[in-house]
Copies of this chain bind each other. A is one copy, B any other.
Amino acid sequence: MATLFERAAVVGVGLIGGSLALAARQAGLFGRVTGVGRGAANLATALARGIVDRTTHRLEDIGAVDLVVLAAPVRTIPALAAQLAPHLRAGTVVTDVGSVKGSIVGELEKILPASCPFVGAHPIAGSERSGAEVADADLFRGAPCVLTPTDHTDASALQRIEALWQGVGARVMRMSPAEHDRALAWTSHLVHAIAYSLTHAIDATDPAAFACAGPSLRESTRVAASDPILWRDIFLANAPAVLEVMETFTTDLDGLKQAISSGDADEITRRLEAARRARERLDAQR
């Protein structure tokens, strides 16, 4: 593939940023890559693994680049953008990989210079592990990646960012920031809230039960090993949508509880069969 961005900078060379740099370099989409971060050990790993060519601790030293990928935790992205803004040259495309888009996209469109087009992006991949050490060039293969253009988004920058994610194997979709935040509240944020809460409740009430853990508990609580600070910030950044889907989920679970409590076998069957059909559609869609 032709190089899309000759000089790229990745701010936050963790699982997502590192995997993107690795995949984009292998696909020939990135030329030279600068890794920006605070952790010296992590940057050294990124350099040693060939994820980046050059590293710096300072956003000011990012130099003349064609693309900046903000791959830092959600809460820090606006502050990083503000710090970065005076050092960007005109024409540099800026994108992010944040799990919440409404607040970030709105803020970044205000913070960044008009001459630097911004495209919000969210690759839906990852794991409970983190750092350049676990970066994986195949992480995005077949994974959804949501782009969240607005009325202000530059069409050419949007196309290039779309080509980047397609080039690393992602299945690219476009949604408004609000649509994205609502969908992700369901498919990711609520899933994490449930995993944390289920683990927390067992641990607080009946920790001996963990000895009976089978594959279903292990799988459904795997993400409770994710970084608490990162997830606290995602819950807070997307609070309205997260609270709404928590409420809807709890109401649904209460409905199942009522059916069990009253011994209503037909109602239980109806709910379980509808869920199984939906789950089968999810598998088929892959």
**Contacts from A to B (Cβ < 8 Å):** 124-127, 143-144, 146, 173, 180, 182-184, 186-188, 190-226, 228-229, 231-232, 235-236, 239, 242-243, 245-257, 260-261, 263, 265, 268-269, 271-283, 285
Contact = CB atoms under 8 A, between A and B. Distances in A.
A162 to B, nearest CB: 16
Contact of A253 (B214, B250, B283): B250
Report copies per complex: 2
A229 B272 CA distance: 8
A275 B200 contact: yes
21 contacts: A124-B212, A180-B212, A183-B209, A187-B202, A187-B209, A188-B217, A199-B276, A200-B252, A200-B275, A201-B248, A204-B252, A207-B278, A210-B281, A213-B282, A220-B223, A221-B279, A224-B275, A231-B272, A232-B272, A236-B268, A246-B256
Contact of A283 (B201, B202, B225): B225
Contact of A275 (B199, B239, B251, B277): B199
Nearest to A173: B211
Given A186-B217, A199-B275, A243-B261, 15 more contacts: A184-B209, A187-B214, A194-B220, A195-B216, A197-B256, A197-B275, A199-B278, A199-B279, A210-B278, A217-B282, A221-B279, A222-B279, A235-B268, A246-B257, A250-B250
Contact of A187 (B197, B210, B232): B210
B201 A249 contact: yes
